[in-house]
């Protein structure tokens, strides 16, 4: 049987024992045991206590249950239930509106998209600005290419405005320019099929 340490006396009991004379005032807390197999010096040094504490810690680590070190698969090997055909069937079919958008893209019309705050937004903004400037230049060129009215027609319109108080109709040149600009924009910009149908109904 391994030797056991004697029960430690409380501070109050040790004080009373010293006062009453049952214990010598200079006696150490750990008294000598004649039947002990371990010398008293082994229990008093800090190095030996550290060795004992370390040995107990190592023994706890070595006696861990063997199931903890068993390898576990992170994910079971399961086969995919879905196939490419089922995924294709789950996708929504193209509607008439989507077909109209594809048709407008094939005709070379412009699709405007909002810019999101992501890396490289300034470059995308610069690209959009250059595209808008090029489109604006093409619109102005188409507007300037319309035939202008003669100077005589303009003078005649001004004379009619001076003699009559009725509001005059806009000049033919201005009307032709706005009509050409609207026609150019309608042929270069993407339009919603719903609005296109409304315009055809009104016409």
Residue-level pLDDT at 151: 42
Q: Where are the domains of the chain?
A: 124-148+171-191
The pLDDT tens digits of the residues spanning 103-136 come to 666 666 666 666 566 777 788 889 999 998 988 8
| Tokens of residue 117, six digits | 């705050």
Residue-level pLDDT at 86: 78
Cα dist from 102 to 8, 96, 105, 106, 166, whole Å: 92, 10, 5, 6, 49
Cβ density class 53-73: b for 16+ within 10 Å, e for less: eeeeeeeeeeeeeeeeeeeee
Residue-level pLDDT at 176: 76
pTM exceeding the 0.85 threshold for the entire prediction:
no
Least confident of 3-17, 97-111, 144-158: 144-158
């Amino acid at each position: 049987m391994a030797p056991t340490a004697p029960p430690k006396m409380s501070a109050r009991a040790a004080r009373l024992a010293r006062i009453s004379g049952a214990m010598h005032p200079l006696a150490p807390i750990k008294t000598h045991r004649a039947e002990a197999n371990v010398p008293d010096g082994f229990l008093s040094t800090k190095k030996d206590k550290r060795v004992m504490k370390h040995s107990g810690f190592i023994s706890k680590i070595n006696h861990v249950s063997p199931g903890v070190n068993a390898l576990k698969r992170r994910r079971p090997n399961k086969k995919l239930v879905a196939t490419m055909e089922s995924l294709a069937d789950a996708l929504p079919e193209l509607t008439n509106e989507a077909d109209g958008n594809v048709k407008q893209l094939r005709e070379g019309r412009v699709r405007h998209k909002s810019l999101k705050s992501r890396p490289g937004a300034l470059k995308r903004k610069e690209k959009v600005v250059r595209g808008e400037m090029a489109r604006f230049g093409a619109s102005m060129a188409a507007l300037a290419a319309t035939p202008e009215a003669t100077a005589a027609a303009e003078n005649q319109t001004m004379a009619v405005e001076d003699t009559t108080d009725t509001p005059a109709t806009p000049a033919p040149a201005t009307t032709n320019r706005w009509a050409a600009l609207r026609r150019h924009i309608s042929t270069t910009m993407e339009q919603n099929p719903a609005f296109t149908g409304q315009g055809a109904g009104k016409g």
